[in-house]
Structures are given as C-alpha cells and as structure tokens.
Structure 1
Amino acid sequence: MVLPAVLLLVGVVLVPLAMTAMLSFQRFGQYTGIEPGFSLTNWLEIVGDPYFAEMFARTFRISGVVTLAACLIGAPEAYIIHRMRAPWKGIFLVVTLGPLLISVVARTLGWALLFGGRNGVVNKALMDLGILSQPIPFMFTEGGVMVALTHVMVPFMVLSVWAVLQRLDPKAENAAASLGASQFTILTRIVLPQVMPGILSGAIIVFALSASAFATPAIIGGRRLKVAATLAYDEFLNTLNWPLGAAVAILLLIAIAAIVIGCNALVERRYAQVFQ
C-alpha cells in the first residue's frame, strides 16, 4: 500500500534533488557550457565570494524579521478570533484566511500599487494631503519585501496557533479569573505556555516559506535586491550557469533544513512538556 507513495516521492522529489546536487559539482565554461566531471569550483566560489554571503545573510535576515512580525500579528489575531462568538468567529476567520485563496503574485502586485513610488495610491494620497514631502520608499527595499512577505505569511501563523487553541480548556481561564488572576496573568501564565508549541510550529513554517520565497522578493525587490531564491533563478535562466545555480539552491535547502530540524526538536520538547 505504501509503494505508490514511495515511488511518487522518489520520482518527484528525491531524483530531482539528487540530479541538482550532482549538477552543482560540475564546471561551467563561458563558451563550452556545462562540462562533465567532478569539481568543487562552484562551492568554493560561494564560500569565498562575499557577494554570496551577502545574499544569504539578506535572505535569512528578511526571513527572521518576517517570522517575528508574523508571530506578533498572527498569534494575538488567532486568540482574538478564538474568543469571538458565532457567527463573527467564522466571518473573521474566513477574512483572515481569505488571502490564501488569492495568488501570491496578485497580493504582491497589490502592495506595489499601494506604495510603488510617486504613483502609488497611498504615497500619492499622502503627498497630495501634504503629509509627506516625498514618497515612502517601498519598491526595491528590504522593508518593502518584509511588509509584503508578512502579509503573505500571517495566515499560516494564524492557522498554526488556531489548531493549538482548539485544544485549550476554557475552564482553566475561568478558574484563574475566579481566583483573582488578572487578564494579563491569565494570558502569560496559562494561555501563552499552552499556545507556544503552535507559535513555534507556525514560526518554522513561516521561516521556511519566507527563506525560499521567490515571487514576492522578485516583484518588490527586483534585480536590485536579490535573495537566495532570485539569485538561483538568475544563475539558471539569465547567465545560464546551471551548476552555480544548483549549488546555490542546494545550499539554501541545506540551511533551511538544518534550521527547521533544530527548531522542530525544540517544538517537540515543548509539546512534551505542555501536553504530557
């Protein structure tokens, strides 16, 4: 019964990854193209060139900020919706998760239309009102990429926290309130420890998706502000240096996998402590 799923995994995931990894150890010549043989040239170039270090540092810096912002916005939002009564709970949950039904490209272009230079709707309105003397820089900035990615990733955090909130016993909060605990104490001493596994799980999802995101950084960041995903894309399709692009992609995959595995171990320990 498991054999079809295993074959699908091998054919769709493992074989392409293995081919990409093998490609990263081949040479590329400007006039000869991909040269057969084993070589560490691409990996040594990535390790020794500060340009690649800057790209990966920017990728994980943006991903870290987006993850933090998604936690600060998504966790309280999920708790507030959880405490709502019907039918408002269902309505606001649909509104929160509704952006997942829209293409990420459409959502990112919406942000570009709102803040894109002097012709952006928000910038133009604020400048016409005399509130701003010059437009807020959004396009081709790290801040713009972070804002657009946060909008894309918050629903994933809400879903993760929402799943854990369904397991909470409301009687615990009521008991704490009856014993004189303040709302702040209830949130920090009762709710937060039980919700933390959901926050950590959501943070893992958001970080992994942000670090590997392509559409949003490509549209908002453009060619001036590259991250690892757009760098690999350029190496594959613009310079046609497939081995170097494969090395960048594999290194990004290894880095994300290492971070996710480490954080997942932390989440599992937290789950064991809370729900033991």
Structure 2
Amino acid sequence: MTAVADTAPQSAARERGPRTPWALTAPALLLFVGVLLIPLAMTVMLSFHDWGQYKGIEPVFILKNWHEIATDPYYAEMFWRTFRIAILTTLLTAVLGAPEAYILNRMSGRWKSFFLLVILGPLLISVVARTLGWALLFGGNNGLVNKLLMSLGVIRAPIPFMFTETGMVVALAHVMMPFMVLSVWAALQRLDPQIENAAMSLGAGPVTIIRRIIMPQIMPGVLSGAIIVFSLSASAFATPAIIGGRRLKVAATLAYDEFLNTLNWPLGAAVATLLLVALILIVVGSNALIERRYAEVFR
C-alpha cells in the first residue's frame, strides 16, 4: 500500500515533467523575445532601408548604408577609434585593478568590507554624474588634474584631457574599474594563502611567487574582467559623449547622431548593427580562445 502511494506522485511528476520547465520559463522567454530579440531584428531590417532628406525612410531592401560604411574611411576611423579606446581602457583597468584586487583579498575582515564598499561605491552613482565629475576635474589647462600633476613635478606643461582620447580612456577606466576588480577578486577567492607561505618557506622570492603562483591563479579573472570591460567600453555612450564631445566621436555617439540629429535612421541602424556584430564576434572568439587555452593547461 505504501509502495503504491509513493509511486503515485512520481508518476504524476513524470506526466507533467516535460511541460513544467517550459511553463516556468515562458514568461522570462517572452520578455526576452519582446524587449530584446524583436527590437534587434527590427534594427537589422531598418539598416537595409533607404533614406532621403525629403522623402524620409523608404521600406526597400538596399545595401546603400552598408556600402557607405564599407567604402568611406570616416567610418573605418570611427570604429578603429572605438576599439582603440576600449583596448586601452581594458589594459589600464587590468594593470590597476589586478593589484587592487590582490591587496583587497589580503585585507582583514573589517577593512576588506570598507574598501570593497569604496570600490563598489561608484556603481551606485550615475555614469553621467561620474563623467561630469571627471569633466570638472579635467577642466582644460587649468583643471585640478593638471594643477596636481604639475605641482608634483610629473609634467611640465598642461595635458589636454577634454575632447581627447586620453581623457576618454581615464574616465572610462574609472567607470569600468569595479568590474575588473570584482572579476579578479572572485578568482582570488579560490587561492589558498598557505601556498604563498609554502613557497616562501622553500626560498621563493616575491617576484617568483607573483609570477609562478599568483598570476596563473588570477589570469582567468583578469581575462573575464577584460572581456566585460572591453565590451562595455566599446559600447559606452555617456562618457565618450561628455568627454569626447562632438569632435571626437565613437561608434555609439555616431549612431546616436544619425538617429536623433541627422534623422538617418537606416544608417544609424547599420552602424549599431555592425558594432553589435563586431562585439559579439570579439567576445565569443576571445572566450573560445581562453577556454581552449585553459583546457589545454589543466588537461
């Protein structure tokens, strides 16, 4: 009797089993399709339409926008500037964020919580507000940053930060730094501190410990953070728009101008689609190379 009672719920679960996961995921799947896939598909379709100053958007299938992007060197320079700034931002966050995460990991509980809050604090502030703060700090040749560097003897003449790639890289690095620090810090959680002590007891120096023990352990975190920082930096809009201005455009600000200023929606859709495809290819390719590399190392 007991066996029959136990098998009844199991048979009922098997009957409704195949449908239950779909029923649970259907709302999220519909939301994903409605707010992401459908707008992306409409943007891609819009990139193949025609546009004229007096005739507006014509729903015809043409390759004029894609041909213009492929043949005009202005767009090539725009995309090269976008990825160049993203690469420099990624390198700067990796160089500064990895040691910062290591120091954070070695702190005691109370100080670790405090400085972790300091690192995560910028994420609680709007990107626009943070970028405007950097614009005030840069402030041309008489900005606080130039005055501080000149008073410390680091530079002799003011460095132009506003409307330059240098200022955009510095501001983006500050915005993206928490993502790199958190990625490296998560990788360091799997590192046993006793391994460093064992290496020191065997005569290994600080450089050897960093090169042979710490770096191999944190590299997955650095590479994961690099992918996040690169993709967010390449698609950033607020920081390049404020620091770069209208004279120094990137792909995101170019698409914005085509949509809202020029009103050439098909060309803006083509720029946005090309940026999205390029980022997907770079991120997926980088992730595949990283996984294959570490699969060969730990095999």
Measured against the shorter chain, the TM-score band is: over 0.9
Matched, 1:259 2:285: no
Q: How does 1:1-276 map to 2 (within 5 A)?
A: 1-118=24-141, 120-123=143-146, 135-272=158-295
Give 1:265 deviation, angstroms. 1.1
The one-letter code matched in structure 1 to 2:229 is: V
The one-letter code matched in structure 1 to 2:112 is: K
Larger mean Cα displacement after TM superposition, 80-89 or 220-229: 80-89
Unpaired segments ≥5 residues, structure 1? none
The one-letter code matched in structure 2 to 1:211 is: A
- CA 236–129 in structure 1, closer or farther in 2 if over 3 Å, else same: same
Give 1:123 deviation, angstroms. 3.9
Aligned with 1:87: secondary structure? helix
Give 1:126 deviation, angstroms. 7.0
Q: What per-residue deviation string (whole Å, max 9, x for no partner) do you get for residues 40-75 of structure 1?
A: 000000000000001000000000000000100001
Aligned with 1:160: secondary structure? helix
The answer as to whether partners of 2:48 and 2:64 remain within 8 angstroms in 1 is yes
Give aligned pairs, total. Answer: 276
| Cα distance between partner residues in 2 of 1:175 and 1:165 | 17
| Cα distance between partner residues in 2 of 1:26 and 1:257 | 23
| Cα distance between partner residues in 1 of 2:126 and 2:45 | 33
Q: What per-residue deviation string (whole Å, max 9, x for no partner) do you get for residues 167-212 of structure 1?
A: 1122221211111111111111011111101000000000000000
The one-letter code matched in structure 1 to 2:267 is: L
The one-letter code matched in structure 2 to 1:162 is: W
CA RMSD of aligned residues (A): 2.0
Higher gyration radius (CA):
2
- CA 172–133 in structure 1, closer or farther in 2 if over 3 Å, else same: closer
The answer as to whether partners of 1:70 and 1:154 remain within 8 angstroms in 2 is yes
| Cα distance between partner residues in 2 of 1:25 and 1:244 | 9
The one-letter code matched in structure 2 to 1:205 is: I
The one-letter code matched in structure 2 to 1:38 is: F
Give 1:12 deviation, angstroms. 0.9
Aligned with 1:174: secondary structure? helix
The one-letter code matched in structure 2 to 1:7 is: L
The answer as to whether partners of 1:104 and 1:216 remain within 8 angstroms in 2 is yes
| Cα distance between partner residues in 2 of 1:252 and 1:84 | 40
Give 1:7 deviation, angstroms. 0.8
Aligned with 1:107: secondary structure? helix
| Cα distance between partner residues in 1 of 2:95 and 2:151 | 33
Give 1:253 deviation, angstroms. 0.2
The answer as to whether partners of 1:74 and 1:158 remain within 8 angstroms in 2 is yes
Larger mean Cα displacement after TM superposition, 77-86 or 263-272: 263-272
Larger mean Cα displacement after TM superposition, 116-125 or 84-93: 116-125
Report the TM-score when normalising by structure 1: 0.94
Aligned with 2:190: secondary structure? coil
